[in-house]
């Protein structure tokens, strides 16, 4: 038997004022776009903003549905938009924020498992890591160097070969 260890290294900032200007601007865009989320059931609005290598910004919000499994997370809405509008353009950074009628938005949240898998696949497809900037409407912010760090045992295309 062998015991192995995996570890997540990330940066933590006290608030948006400590971020580099580009990261702060991206997080602010995620905060703003979260207001446009369609979340009539959970009242939990998530916004994502991504900076592409070409300098363009793409945004996405969560889209709920009365049939709960049909809803789509902000991250996957954004990835689909980026892939369709900018076919071969990698994402260099993605900021994710949230707000809600029933929750305090004062700490970072992480993408769900399905979004982690989608982010990992997008990184692999574009052959470039996506820096994640995670924060609520206020408070601490995490920066994770690559989305793949959130899913160390990802199911990848190599399993299908």
Tell which residue, 90, 109, 86, 88, has the closest CA to residue 99: 109
Q: Whole-model pTM?
A: 0.96
Roughly how many angstroms between the first and final C-alpha of the chain, as a whole number? 28
Looking at every residue in the chain, the average pLDDT score rounds to 96
75 among known catalytic residues: yes
> Does the pLDDT of residue 68 top 90, yes or no?
no
CB neighbour list of residue 19: distance below 8 Å, 6 or more residues apart: 13, 27, 133, 141
Distance CA 52, CA 104 (A): 30
Predicted confidence band of residue 66 (pLDDT cuts 50, 70, 90): very high
> Does the pLDDT of residue 161 top 90, yes or no?
no
Q: Please report where in the chains the tokens 């369709």 appear, as a residue.
A: 84
Fold of 10-160: Cytidine Deaminase; domain 2 (3.40.140)
Query: What is the CA angle 104-151-86, rounded to 5?
Result: 85
Catalytic position from the list 75, 89, 123, 138: 75
């Amino acid at each position: 038997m062998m015991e192995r260890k995996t570890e997540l290294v990330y940066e933590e900032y006290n608030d948006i004022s400590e971020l580099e200007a580009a990261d702060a601007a991206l997080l602010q865009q995620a905060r703003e776009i979260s207001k446009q989320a369609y979340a009539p059931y959970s009242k939990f609005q998530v916004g994502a903003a991504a900076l592409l290598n070409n300098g363009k910004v793409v945004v996405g919000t969560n889209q709920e549905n009365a049939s709960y499994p049909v809803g789509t997370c902000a991250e996957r809405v954004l990835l689909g938009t980026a892939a369709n509008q900018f076919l071969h353009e990698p994402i260099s950074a993605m900021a994710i924020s949230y707000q809600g009628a029933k929750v305090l938005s004062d700490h970072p949240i992480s993408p769900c498992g399905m979004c982690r898998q989608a982010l990992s696949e997008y990184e692999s497809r574009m052959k470039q890591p996506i820096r994640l900037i995670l924060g609520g409407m206020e408070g601490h912010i995490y920066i994770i160097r690559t989305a793949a760090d959130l899913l160390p045992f990802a199911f990848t295309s190599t399993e299908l070969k």
